[in-house]
């Protein structure tokens, strides 16, 4: 069972410098070595990736997959009291105190089974294993930032096809996002190791992530093109790092629902 440590995601509730040295515990989460690199968010591959902020100032990473739709993790919208916390903005090109563009939010869709299955306890909100593969959400933007920033293609096959493609790519993936220790810069771990696809559709990996990376894209070069193959969901506690890899949700888990969400938006126009 995974506990949501959302307090660590808050910009306002947890005042942090724009950049801080990783702590000893964080270094353990990095598998002993931090391999993330500060990256230009306006470089072609990363233009569709940005920072999502909620009403109570929690932050996650999200990716443009249509001109007005981003995909991210479902737990990004659960506040410290276990209540739904709607998104208020999506910012792209964020670097230090500057950014390229920003949009408001017109709609958030979190998987209903995920919301219904959360366990609320006095010490926090927990994600039982039975709903861990439903930790995804789709967000419709007020402004079609994908027209200027582009979109990242989403892998459309099933789990068997994805496994075949990842094997051909030597299970190498790339992750980038806006993590806890540097909320104002895009940090990227390139060519990190995916370690397997679980029977429930989750993708295990050894990319360096922290809070704030939730919802960030797992990219793989498939047929010569960087493609979204998953979104970051969770990491174990430092004490369990030697037993567990990080967890992402592979795209076959949510691809069809994502396409329906995109099409619903088009029909409303």
Catalytic positions, written as ranges: 75, 214
The Cα-based distances of 79 to 53, 85, 226, 232 in angstroms read 12, 6, 32, 18
Cα torsion through 27, 33, 39, 43, rounded to 10: -120
d(Cα 219, Cα 235) in Å, to the nearest integer? Answer: 18
DSSP 252: G
Q: Which of 23, 20, 21, 8 is nearest to 59 (CA)?
A: 8
At 158, give phi and psi (nearest 5°).
-85, 180
CB-CB contact of 177 with 187 (8 Å): yes
Contacts of 220 by beta carbon, 8 Å cutoff, 6+ apart: 155, 165, 166, 169, 172, 173, 174, 194, 226, 227, 229
């Amino acid at each position: 069972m995974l506990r949501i440590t959302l307090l660590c995601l808050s910009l306002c509730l947890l005042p942090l410098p724009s950049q801080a040295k990783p702590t000893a515990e964080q270094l353990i989460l990095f598998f002993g070595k931090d391999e993330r690199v500060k990256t230009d968010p306006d470089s072609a591959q990363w233009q569709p990736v940005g920072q999502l902020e909620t009403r109570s100032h929690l932050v996650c990473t999200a990716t443009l997959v249509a001109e007005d739709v981003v995909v991210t993790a479902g737990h990004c919208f659960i506040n410290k009291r276990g209540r739904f916390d709607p998104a208020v903005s999506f910012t792209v090109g964020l670097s230090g105190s500057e950014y390229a563009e920003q949009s408001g939010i017109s709609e958030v869709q979190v998987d209903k089974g995920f919301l219904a299955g959360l366990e609320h306890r006095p010490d926090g909100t927990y994600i039982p294993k039975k709903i861990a593969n439903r930790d995804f959400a789709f967000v419709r933007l007020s402004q079609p930032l994908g027209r200027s920033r582009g979109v990242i293609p989403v892998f459309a096959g099933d789990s068997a096809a994805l496994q075949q493609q990842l094997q051909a790519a030597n299970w190498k993936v790339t992750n980038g996002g806006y993590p806890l220790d540097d909320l104002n810069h895009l940090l990227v771990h390139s060519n990190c190791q995916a370690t397997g696809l679980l029977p429930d559709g989750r993708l295990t990996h050894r990319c360096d992530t922290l809070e704030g990376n939730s919802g960030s894209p797992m990219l793989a070069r498939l047929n010569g093109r960087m493609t979204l193959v998953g979104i970051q969901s969770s990491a174990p506690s430092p004490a369990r790092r030697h037993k567990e890899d990080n967890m992402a949700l592979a795209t076959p888990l949510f691809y069809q629902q994502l396409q329906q969400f995109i099409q619903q938006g088009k029909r409303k126009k």
